[in-house]
Amino acid sequence: MFEELTEKLEGIFKKLRGQGRITEANVSETLREVRRVLLEADVNFRVAKSFIDKVQERSLGTEVLTSVTPGQLMIKIIYDELVRLMGSDRTDITFSNLPPTVILIAGLQGSGKTTFSAKLANYLRHKGHHPLLVAADVQRPAAIDQLIQLGGQIGIPVYADRAHDAIQIADDSIDHARKNVRDVVIIDTAGRLHVDEEMMLEVETVKAHTKPHEILFVVDSMTGQDAVNSARAFHDRLDFDGVVLTKLDGDARGGAALSIRSVVEKPIKFVSVGEKLEQLEPFYPDRMASRILGMGDIVTLVEKVQETVDEKKAEKLEEKLRKAEFTFEDFLDQLQEIKKMGPLSQVLGMIPGVNRLAGAKDIDDRAFVKVEAMIHSMTAEEQRKPHLINGSRRRRIALGSGTKVQDVNKLLKQFEEMKRMMKSLRRGKFGRSPGGMRIPGQFN
């Protein structure tokens, strides 16, 4: 996610940390670079300008120039402002006291509305709700089938009615939910290629009829500034409550994520990070800012682990991660669990530092078949004490797993790097500083 933006910001920070003393000239130079990087990531130019102005104002306050670690303080200011730019706090969905809670999903064609509707139903179900999906997209006959199919995959009922229009369907679905004790109604609507009057009228009418408690605007984050423009257009007509950014797993540059909140003044509530139905994450501005700055996102990772593995196991894993007592045995154990969480490159990207490891981005699940084979070829003792694995053992493991010695070397090296990173976790370097920021080791 946002690799290019992260890489460039890291480059700027590296330079900044190299400066013993920071002068007004350094600050301006740094901010000029940050501004350029933001614009290259397709951040709205007004948003970028006001962002830079704020960081500049705070950086030129006496703090930074007199601080003993001026570079780090400036990075913290940039982090704080990024968090603020994306809305500061997490905003959840509003539920009605009088069920069913009606959630209307709107957005342009192909933005990911139908996929998101199913993901949201799945997500809410795990939180103890009983959602009903409503196929109110009658533009394309296939849209109804698509939702029915997705609902089937996750065992969520879908209300569909091929004989009526979207407004009638939406109206009827709420009665249907009441009768069938469904406490959340998620209405998937039709999109159009461009913002057009017909679509807006239809969604507006559905809104007027169903009086949703929550209207979510779904937007493809790969579309950059167009995303921001369509958000504005939908906002003018629908006054939606929150934004869902989709396809953050693709090569979106970050512009939409960073601009949308301050342009429409509505919170981003969820991000969608893949085609699989479990690839949905609640949006936290602070976590996103750490990810953008290349600080990883250990909290999201731990949460994901908790969702997928049982509580006890997750606690154990977290402790092991923190104590860096992680062995190849644990690694193998976790591989099975991790596989359930989604593509590995994504999961790994959330571990601080891993996103910087060479090749981490390109890891795909197939690579782990090889890794599993190598670990299986180790003896139990070797799995627990990898330092025992000398040259001849490496050759034996390679032979046993049908890999090359270089592969075994690489695995051992990566494992050591991982452990080193975890050690810095243990030392508390990733712990929350008094200012509320997670500061990775390399910034100290």
How far is 251 from 344, CA to CA, in rounded Å? 16
Length of the chain: 444
- The binder of 80, among ligand GTP, Mg ion, none, by C-beta within 5 to 8 A per type, is none
Q: Which tokens hold the place of 1?
A: 């996610």
Residue 250 vs 402, nearer CB to ligand GTP: 250
Within 10 angstroms of residue 357's Cβ, the number of other Cβ atoms is 16
Residue from the set 11, 61, 110, 431 that interacts with ligand GTP by CB under 6 A: 110
How far is 306 from 388, CA to CA, in rounded Å? 32
How far is 104 from 351, CA to CA, in rounded Å? 34
> x/- binding map, residues 286-325, to ligand GTP, per CB under 6 A?
----------------------------------------
Phi-psi region of 327 (alpha: psi -120 to 50; beta: other; left: phi over 0): beta
Binding of residue 342 to ligand GTP (CB under 6 A): no
Tell me which residue has its CB nearest to ligand GTP: 191
Minimum CB distance to ligand GTP, residue 25 (Å): 43
Q: Which 8-state DSSP code applies to residue 132?
A: E
Residue 109 vs 433, nearer CB to ligand GTP: 109
Minimum CB distance to ligand GTP, residue 142 (Å): 9
Binding of residue 274 to ligand GTP (CB under 6 A): yes
- Order the strands of the 280-282 sheet from edge to edge: 158-159, 131-136, 184-189, 101-107, 214-220, 242-246, 268-272, 280-282
Binding of residue 196 to ligand GTP (CB under 6 A): no
Stretches 39-47, 107-115, 320-328, 417-425: which one binds ligand GTP (CB under 6 A)?
107-115
Secondary element (H or E) of residue 122: helix 113-126
Number of residues binding to ligand GTP, judged by CB under 6 A: 19
CA-CA-CA-CA dihedral for 241, 247, 253, 255, to nearest 10: -10
Within 10 angstroms of residue 89's Cβ, the number of other Cβ atoms is 11
> x/- binding map, residues 128-147, to ligand GTP, per CB under 6 A?
---------x-----x----
Binding of residue 269 to ligand GTP (CB under 6 A): no
Q: Which tokens hold the place of 287?
A: 């976590």
Stretches 28-36, 103-111, 337-345, 373-381: which one binds ligand GTP (CB under 6 A)?
103-111
Minimum CB distance to ligand GTP, residue 220 (Å): 8
Please compute Rg for the chain using Cα positions.
Answer: 24
Minimum CB distance to Mg ion, residue 109 (Å): 8
Residues that bind Mg ion (CB under 5 A): 113-114, 143
Return the SS3 of 205.
Answer: helix
In this structure, are residues 287 and 295 in contact, taking their beta carbons and an 8 Å threshold? no
Please report the sign of the dihedral spanned by the C-alpha atoms of residue 48, residue 50, residue 52, residue 58.
negative
Stretches 198-206, 270-278, 314-322, 328-336: which one binds ligand GTP (CB under 6 A)?
270-278
- The binder of 377, among Mg ion, ligand GTP, none, by C-beta within 5 to 8 A per type, is none
Minimum CB distance to ligand GTP, residue 76 (Å): 31
In this structure, are residues 88 and 239 in contact, taking their beta carbons and an 8 Å threshold? no
| Omega within 30 of 0 (cis) for the link into 100 | yes
Binding of residue 252 to ligand GTP (CB under 6 A): no
Minimum CB distance to ligand GTP, residue 272 (Å): 3
Residue from the set 246, 259, 290, 345 that interacts with ligand GTP by CB under 6 A: 246
Residue 273 vs 309, nearer CB to ligand GTP: 273
- The binder of 249, among ligand GTP, Mg ion, none, by C-beta within 5 to 8 A per type, is ligand GTP
Minimum CB distance to ligand GTP, residue 369 (Å): 23
Residue 51 vs 270, nearer CB to Mg ion: 270
Minimum CB distance to ligand GTP, residue 252 (Å): 10
- The binder of 111, among ligand GTP, Mg ion, none, by C-beta within 5 to 8 A per type, is ligand GTP
Secondary element (H or E) of residue 134: strand 131-136
Q: Which 8-state DSSP code applies to residue 88?
A: S
Residue 217 vs 328, nearer CB to ligand GTP: 217
Minimum CB distance to Mg ion, residue 151 (Å): 13
What phi and psi, each to the nearest 5 degrees, are found at residue 158?
Answer: -120, 130
Residue 118 vs 292, nearer CB to Mg ion: 118
In this structure, are residues 221 and 246 in contact, taking their beta carbons and an 8 Å threshold? yes
Q: What separation in angstroms does the CA of 86 have from each of 68, 82, 245, 283, 337? A: 29, 6, 12, 10, 31
Secondary element (H or E) of residue 315: helix 311-323
Task: Give me the residues that bind ligand GTP (CB under 6 A), please.
Answer: 107, 109-115, 137, 143, 191, 246-247, 249-250, 272-275
